[in-house]
Copies of this chain bind each other. A is one copy, B any other.
Amino acid sequence: MTYSELSDQIFQKQSYLCVGLDTDPRKLPPHLLTEKDPVFAFNKAIIDATADFAVAYKPNIAFYEAQGPRGWESLQKTLDYIPASCFTIADAKRGDIGNTSDLYARTFFDPTAAGLDFDSVTVAPYMGHDSVTPFLAYKGKWVILLALTSNAGSTDFQYQTLSSRTASQKPLFEKVIETAQGWAGPDQLMFVVGATQTSELERIRQLAPDNFLLVPGVGAQGGSLADVSRLGLTKAGGLLVNASRSILYASNGPDFADRARDEAQRLQLEMAGYLTQIQ
């Protein structure tokens, strides 16, 4: 999916909601456990219930990997079921030396390899340019680079201040954002910025005025959709705000899909309001 196609989807649906498919087999509604593939049955119901309100779906690969080979089969079926109009994100946080990153890129981008054909993958920046560029070699595919994450551990390294020969000092995450923009343009590069880090969002938007930001941490992790939207929205949309647990586990009963739909719609309506303000 291209930058302008993603932007168009956002304004058509009046939503920048990304539904995180962090599907934990231990949390499924009991009535699904008799299904042949309970994880896929759950995801299918969630996608059916939320597709009117979401522009993106983000399976968290750990949840599938932890099931072994059958988890990868559930992931494959889930990806194939997501409507083509929705942007797909493999939340994998991969990154390795060049020849290995090339294989991770094949895994998620080349359907002749593992069968998967995601639009994008999340990548960890620690190993630098040659750990990221193999993903960018796939035209039309995206890297979503970790910049400032939503967890407590983000302070350990991401906020470390770098010394510089110039007067300006900056934290590591700003260096990551600046450096990575030399590797790709906003048509292939997004950044992960946690919703719990809104105090930094204004500065990040200055550093990356046109890049989409993938923002987790609204909902269960406590980030504010109003703050994220005020500081992060651009004329092209420029945001994908992820919600996972608050949608997936809105109910544990037979009505789980209806309650998931309600929560997705609630977020979409709030987003529609913020989108009106930028136009």
Contacts and interface: CB of A to CB of B under 8 A. Distances in A.
Nearest to A25: B113
Which of A24, A153, A164 is most buried by chain B, counting CB atoms within 10 A of its CB?
A: A153
Interface residues of A, number: 62
Contact of A158 (B24, B116, B126): B126
Which of A67, A93, A116, A161 is most buried by chain B, counting CB atoms within 10 A of its CB?
A: A93
A72 interface: yes
A162 interface: yes
B124 A66 contact: no
Interface in A16-73: 22, 24, 60, 62-63, 65-73
A252 interface: no
B128 A62 contact: no
Interface stretch (A3-11, A168-176, A207-215, A264-272): A168-176
A150 to B, nearest CB: 7
A95 B93 contact: yes
Nearest to A70: B69
Contacts of A91: 96
Nearest to A72: B69
Interface string A248-265: 000000000000000000
A103 B70 CA distance: 15
A104 B65 contact: yes
A176 B153 CA distance: 12
A146 interface: yes
Contacts of A172: 157, 160, 172
A98 B65 contact: no
Given A151-B128, A153-B130, A158-B128, A69 B62 contact: no
B100 A127 contact: no
Chain A interface mostly helix, strand, loop or mixed? mixed
A271 to B, nearest CB: 23
A105 B69 CA distance: 16
A60 B175 CA distance: 29
Interface string A167-185: 0010010011001000000
30 contacts: A22-B100, A60-B100, A62-B100, A63-B100, A65-B103, A65-B114, A66-B107, A68-B113, A68-B115, A69-B72, A93-B94, A93-B96, A93-B124, A93-B127, A97-B151, A124-B124, A125-B156, A126-B157, A127-B154, A128-B155, A129-B152, A130-B151, A130-B152, A131-B151, A131-B153, A132-B153, A157-B179, A160-B162, A163-B163, A172-B172
Given A126-B158, A128-B158, 6 more contacts: A65-B114, A66-B113, A125-B156, A128-B153, A131-B153, A161-B162
